Amino acid sequence: MTKVTFERVHKAFGAFVALEELDLAIRSGEFVSLLGPSGCGKTTTLRMLAGLEQPTRGTISVGDRVVNELPPAERDLAMVFQSYALYPHMTVAQNIEYPLRKRGVARAVRREQVLRAAAQLQLEALLDRKPRQLSGGQQQRVALGRALVRNPAAFLLDEPLSNLDAKLRAHMRAELIELHQRIGKTMIYVTHDQLEAMTMSDRIAVLDQGRLQQFDTPLEIYNRPVSLFVAGFIGTPAMNLVKGTLKADGNRLVFDAGGLSLELPPALVRRDVLREGGIAVVLGVRPEDVLLATDGERATVKVVEPTGHESIVFFDLMDHTVVGRVGPDVRLAAGEPVGLTLNAAKLHVFAAEDGRRLNADLQPPATQAAPSLVA
């Protein structure tokens, strides 16, 4: 197994900066996703690791070797592309064995390794078929098999499931998780799909505009986003974000958003960030932390979206649209008045100026009251 390290890696294409001073240490045997919107630098990062692009500056290491100057063939990495890149005139068996043939591996050994990879990926019955005779999921497995027979130090996967339909993507996610557990190799996975990253990864590197925003476990990123970008990007439906002013009033902490005024837990944010007259902030709360309560703040149901196992509900709360989740047995209708409260233990506060997290991240007391409307 092999660790992968980026140290102050910078990549510019002329005046355009694709990646800015990336520091990233991927542990041996880890499944790490590079996640972010289009143009954030995730594919550029993977291509530099593979040797298909050269960093403008900085150091990339695979294991204990600096690979900046090594050609792709000498980096001991296997890359699976979004397009699969299968040879249409070759059979499945020939596609899988191609890397071994190029390395001059004996025919008998090639055959043995192809059969082993085919068994791992359930391709034994397809070895004599051509790529055009395969489904998208089968082609994906052939591409994985071709990478697998090389027995590389690490696998690099560039949005390999993006061409599949939703049902097949879910199936292939499970197959990739099982494959990683079975072979234990380092895997670095590029995706813009947060569900893929959340369900498959040991850790996720979230990138935006060429900068690493957060590198942590999926649950830590979900529960403690370090920036406004991460908070808004992770989660479906997205986190509710409301702009307003936060100020201390004696021992009270009050959030005001023009008509919506909430008293928040006093220990929610670091006191050193507060200023006289208040500071501009964005208050965040995830849909599952918007709760129905008979004694809560008065709101009106705007839209109900049933999904089967739950319903996504849009509420009008003091002229602010707030999204919540309710169970399948809760029946709500548009125009219906309801009471809402927020889970005080799961509120997020970000600086409006630069998006940094302001939470003190102290565990609230078990008896902590929910945020209340300020008269």
pLDDT tens track for 39-59: 999 999 999 999 999 999 999
Mean pLDDT (the chain, rounded): 91
The pLDDT assigned to 203 comes to 98
| pLDDT tens, residue by residue, 105-127 | 999 999 999 998 888 888 999 99
pLDDT band at 165 (very low <50, low <70, confident <90, very high): confident
Residues 270-296, mean pLDDT to the nearest whole number: 91
Reading the block at residue 244, the tokens are 């307003």
Residues 164-181, mean pLDDT to the nearest whole number: 86
The pLDDT assigned to 76 comes to 92
pLDDT band at 344 (very low <50, low <70, confident <90, very high): confident
Amino acid at 217: T
Is the pLDDT confidence value at 364 over 90?
A: no
Q: Which CATH number describes the domain made up of 233-373?
A: 2.40.50.140
HSE (side-chain half, CA atoms, 13 Å) at 40: 19
The pLDDT assigned to 365 comes to 41
Is the pLDDT confidence value at 154 over 70?
A: yes
Amino acid at 307: T
- Using CA atoms, how far apart are residues 34 and 6, in angstroms rounded to an integer? 13
The pLDDT assigned to 1 comes to 64
Is the pLDDT confidence value at 374 over 50?
A: no
What's the burial of 119, exposed, middle or buried (CB within 10 Å: 0-12/13-18/19+)?
exposed
Residues 124-149, mean pLDDT to the nearest whole number: 90
**What's this model's pTM, rounded to 2 decimal places?**
0.89
CA dihedral for 24, 25, 28, 32, sign (positive or negative): negative
- Using CA atoms, how far apart are residues 40 and 34, in angstroms rounded to an integer? 10
| Contact predicate 184/1, CB 8 Å | yes
Query: What is the pairing mode between strands 186-191 and 31-35?
Result: parallel
Is the pLDDT confidence value at 11 over 50?
A: yes
| pLDDT tens, residue by residue, 186-232 | 999 999 999 999 999 999 999 999 999 999 999 999 999 999 999 99
| Contact predicate 318/346, CB 8 Å | no
| Contact predicate 30/202, CB 8 Å | yes
- The total of other beta-carbon atoms located within 10 Å of residue 361's CB is 13
Is the pLDDT confidence value at 37 over 90?
A: yes
Query: Bridge-partner residues for 244, per DSSP?
Result: 281
The pLDDT assigned to 141 comes to 87
Please name which of 155, 44, 49, 46 lies closest in space to residue 99, comparing C-alpha atoms: 155
Q: Domain residue spans in the chain?
A: 4-228, 233-373
The top-level CATH class assigned to 4-228 is: alpha beta
Please name which of 63, 67, 64, 85 lies closest in space to residue 147, comparing C-alpha atoms: 85
The pLDDT assigned to 167 comes to 84
Instruction: Give percent above pLDDT 70 in the chain.
Output: 96
| Contact predicate 228/261, CB 8 Å | no
pLDDT band at 137 (very low <50, low <70, confident <90, very high): confident
